[in-house]
């Protein structure tokens, strides 16, 4: 279960009051631990650090320099006084996935999801906040390097870094590649480093981290889904994917709109779309992450629900209501594939007044939902080093339920779904914690070898794992 192992997480901080970070049943903090808990802002070390969260630091000098924001201006944002507290939810979700404690009776909007736990529930957590959400989302390279250096000195056993790279991709020896350089020093000190492969799939050569000493993690789907019926006015029912709890959206007028992409909430409020008020909106998308802005626009404009049509050349978009910032959590969001979208569009164009009914969702688990490489997961090889096999391994990264701050969504249970290779990486970090508890003297290379040579390459039907895309194909070493 990861007893005695310390997982360092470089991310956006942590929400320490989450039940996922209780220290029930844990023994004393390992005596070899050299780190600290820093009390700043909303983070009180005496209250928030325990036998689970044993370290918490924050790094902001690089952020302030790169954004040109001074401390006084920063203090007036939603982040408030700099501290290890997580505002956006990413870091909390990652940390709880890697080493969250047992939490029984976890529910999601009244839907019982069972017992939650991270990959190594008895491992300890050391938090290094190097990413900030306001006034601009940014992880400064210098802050990341400082965090990784401190993690090495503090004595973590594995380092989880779910932070994406950038275009153009940087060589592993580039002085601007902070994660590659920081991980090199960590590995030299015997600390395995796990990173996310990126969310630019299914494009070839889109994976970001290429350094051979790191473990780069792709994202797979789960054997769990939430099928949601969409019944159009001609009484034909199409199955979509979403998570609509409680009452269905009754027969309501359906419209098709090309919705805006990439705008802020303030910009959207200035330009509402009156045509969608009180209606269900059907919209086609070219990119797996464009739906966030569009769904916000529908909610702001008074729309009742959004049907997201995913691209022809992509896999599932994994859009659940709480994966998008407030106020979108107040409207149902359902995704369908490109062919189903065209079928609904054809009905809409032929109908004098098209109507639609949506939901409620059900839960489907088991063998019929055999895991695949997620469509959004970045593919290899990295264009700068095509001779290096990347990603190294895949782990669940689609629709992962884990802890988040209470402000993240309207679900007061403190857990939410997120998707991305950022969610896949901490699964591997948790597994490494389990390995290190059994084999404390194994080198990072030995641990990486053990992982990649024992991972499954067959699905639940004992056939080769497939990768989402257009067309779907058998996954190869670069998926």
> What kind and span of H or E run contains 298?
helix 291-300
**In 13-158, which residue ranges form alpha helices assigned H by DSSP?**
45-48, 61-67, 71-75, 90-99, 141-154
Name the active-site residue from 90, 93, 169, 427.
90
Residues written for the chain: 479
> What kind and span of H or E run contains 270?
helix 265-270
> In 10 A of CB 270, how many CB atoms?
9
Tokens 């988040």: give the residue.
404
What sign has the CA pseudo-torsion 289, 291, 294, 295?
negative
Name the active-site residue from 11, 157, 314, 322.
11
Nearest CA to 280 among 307, 243, 245? 307
Name the active-site residue from 18, 206, 422, 429.
422
Nearest CA to 375 among 419, 410, 433? 419
Cβ partners under 8 Å of residue 383, min gap 6: 169, 205
- The answer to whether residues 116 and 20 touch, using CB atoms and an 8 Å cutoff, is yes
Active site (annotated) includes residue 11: yes
Active site (annotated) includes residue 352: no
Cβ partners under 8 Å of residue 331, min gap 6: 295, 298, 299, 303, 304, 305, 306, 321
Q: Which residues are catalytic?
A: 11, 90, 422
């Amino acid at each position: 279960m990861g007893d005695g192992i310390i997982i360092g997480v470089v991310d956006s901080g942590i929400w320490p009051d989450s039940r996922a970070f209780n220290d029930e049943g844990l023994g004393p903090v390992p005596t070899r631990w050299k780190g600290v808990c820093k009390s700043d802002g909303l983070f009180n070390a005496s209250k928030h650090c325990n036998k689970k969260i044993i370290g918490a630091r924050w790094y902001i000098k690089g952020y302030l320099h790169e954004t040109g924001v001074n401390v006084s201006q920063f203090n007036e944002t939603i982040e408030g006084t700099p501290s290890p507290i997580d505002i956006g939810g990413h870091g909390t979700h990652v940390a709880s996935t890697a080493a969250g404690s047992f939490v029984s009776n976890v529910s999601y909007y009244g839907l019982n999801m069972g017992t939650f736990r991270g990959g190594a529930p008895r491992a300890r957590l050391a938090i290094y906040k190097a990413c900030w959400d306001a006034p601009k989302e940014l992880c400064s390279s210098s802050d990341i390097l400082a965090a990784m250096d401190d993690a090495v000195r503090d004595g973590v056993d594995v380092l989880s870094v779910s932070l994406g790279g950038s275009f153009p991709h940087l060589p592993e020896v580039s002085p601007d590649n902070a994660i590659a350089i920081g991980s090199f020093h960590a590995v030299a000190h015997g600390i395995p480093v796990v990173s996310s492969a990126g969310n630019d799939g299914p494009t070839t050569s889109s994976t970001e981290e290429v350094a051979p000493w790191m473990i780069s993690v792709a994202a797979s789907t789960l054997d769990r889904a939430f099928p949601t019926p969409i019944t159009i006015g001609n009484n034909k029912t199409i199955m979509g994917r979403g998570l609509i709890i409680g009452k269905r959206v009754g027969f309501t007028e359906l419209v098709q709109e090309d919705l805006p992409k990439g705008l802020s909430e303030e910009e959207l409020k200035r330009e509402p779309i009156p045509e969608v008020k009180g209606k269900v909106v059907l919209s086609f998308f070219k990119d797996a992450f464009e739906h966030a802005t569009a769904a916000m626009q529908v909610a702001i404009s008074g729309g009742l629900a959004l049907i997201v049509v995913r691209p022809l050349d992509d896999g599932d978009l994994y859009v659940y209501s709480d994966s998008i910032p407030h106020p979108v959590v107040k409207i149902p969001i359902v995704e369908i594939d490109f062919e189903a979208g065209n079928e609904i569009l054809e009905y809409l164009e032929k109908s004098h007044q098209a109507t639609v009914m949506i939901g409620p969702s059900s839960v489907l688990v088991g063998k019929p939902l055999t895991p695949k490489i997620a469509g959004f997961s970045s593919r290899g090889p990295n264009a700068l080093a095509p001779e290096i096999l990347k990603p190294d391994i895949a782990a669940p990264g689609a629709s992962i339920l884990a802890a988040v701050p209470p402000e993240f969504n309207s679900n007061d249970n403190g857990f939410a779904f997120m998707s991305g290779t950022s969610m896949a990486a901490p699964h591997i970090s948790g597994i490494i914690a389990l390995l290190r508890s059994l084999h404390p003297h194994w080198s990072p290379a030995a641990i990486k070898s053990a992982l990649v040579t024992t991972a499954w390459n067959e699905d639940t039907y004992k056939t080769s794992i497939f990768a989402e895309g257009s067309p779907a194909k058998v996954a190869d070493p670069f998926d």
